[in-house]
Amino acid sequence: MPSHFALICAFALAYTVPLATYAAASCKTVDLRQEWRTLSDDIKADWLAGVKCLASLRHHRLSLTSQGTELPGLHSLYDDFAYTHDALDETAHENAYFLPWHRWFVHLFEESLRQKCGYSGPIPYWDWTLDADDLFASPIFDPDLHHGLGQDGDCVSSDCTIRDGALSRQFTLAFPVPHMLRRNMSLGDPPRTASLNGAHIANVSQSSTPGDFFTFQYHMSRAHNHLHNFVGGDMATRCPKEVPEDLCTHSYASNDPLFWLHHAQLDRLWSKWQSAHPENLHAFAGYPLHSHNLSNPLYDVNASVGHWMHYDRLSVPIAVAQVFNHTAAPLCYDYAAGPNE
């Protein structure tokens, strides 16, 4: 019987052939991603059905833990994304590769929805700038059992498990322990919505120095963190009660399908910034254009467009330079105008 390492290598090699053709490939079509509230109820229900389909496809996951042991038990294809997000947390957050890494990660999820579960509709994003004045009232938290993403969790009689929406039934998550989807929405103390405000986002995009990717991404990462913390529960990487705090891993945020709509929005904002000035499309650096203190621990002077981003078993490594132009192969998508555009 082949070793686990040999199986992993064989799995990776299965991806190398199509990746080798990306440079010469062109898009047969360019899919348009759309804001959630602009979708019909039927399309919303189809997307949620695709999410639940991935969560129903159980398998023994071909991957190793940080201790070098194979992951035990059965998990779903949906769980694969949560595990990958956790396992590669330090390579995907609080560094120069945050936006590029998640651009490919969301693309991988889109491809799984389409190829494994037959979803053919648009990939949605959530423009939370439209809701920043009252996030609790956002239509994203629709309680409808067929096409709704559900509201807040029940933190009184259960461990903040959601009670309504299409994900309140037959949607079990594997990591860090088997549990149902959880949310605990809170603005925190003090409330942190300024980074999500439309005027603030517009100011960041329009007033930033052309080509200053680091500063733009810094503002996006702050908005990213505040929205995750607002939703709470799985989205904020709060582990179930039965997991001891000292053993609680902290990056299973993609357990909540809101994760994909949130990161598609961040990707959309990066896309808008890229198209705002010719110097922005391929802009990338681990420090600001006008920096006077390169010893700042936030900076990475070695950040490179040739850096290979890793995705555990979901994909072979992808170079940063391969994801700049999302309207070209291998990504082949664009964003439809939002409700107020």
Looking at the domain assignment, is residue 341 inside a domain?
A: no
Looking at the domain assignment, is residue 66 inside a domain?
A: yes
Looking at the domain assignment, is residue 340 inside a domain?
A: no
Torsion angle, alpha carbons of 44, 46, 47, 52, to 10: 120
Place of tokens 């000292």: 246
Using 50, 70 and 90 to split pLDDT, how confident is the model at 292? confident
Q: Which residue has the higher pLDDT, 20 or 146?
A: 146
Selection from 244, 246, 245, 226 nearest residue 236 by Cα: 226
pTM: 0.91
What is the average pLDDT across 88-98?
Answer: 90
- 76 to 39, 112, 148, 169: CA distances (angstroms): 27, 12, 22, 16
Q: Please state whether the peptide bond connecting residue 339 to the residue before it is cis, i.e. omega within 30 degrees of 0.
A: no
Looking at the domain assignment, is residue 299 inside a domain?
A: yes
Looking at the domain assignment, is residue 110 inside a domain?
A: yes
Q: What is the pLDDT of residues 167-194, one digit of tens each?
A: 998 899 998 889 999 999 998 766 677 8
Structural domain including 145 reads 4-335
Residue 15: its pLDDT value, please?
A: 34
- Quote the number of domains for the chain: 1
Looking at the domain assignment, is residue 231 inside a domain?
A: yes
- CATH code (residue 44): 1.10.1280.10
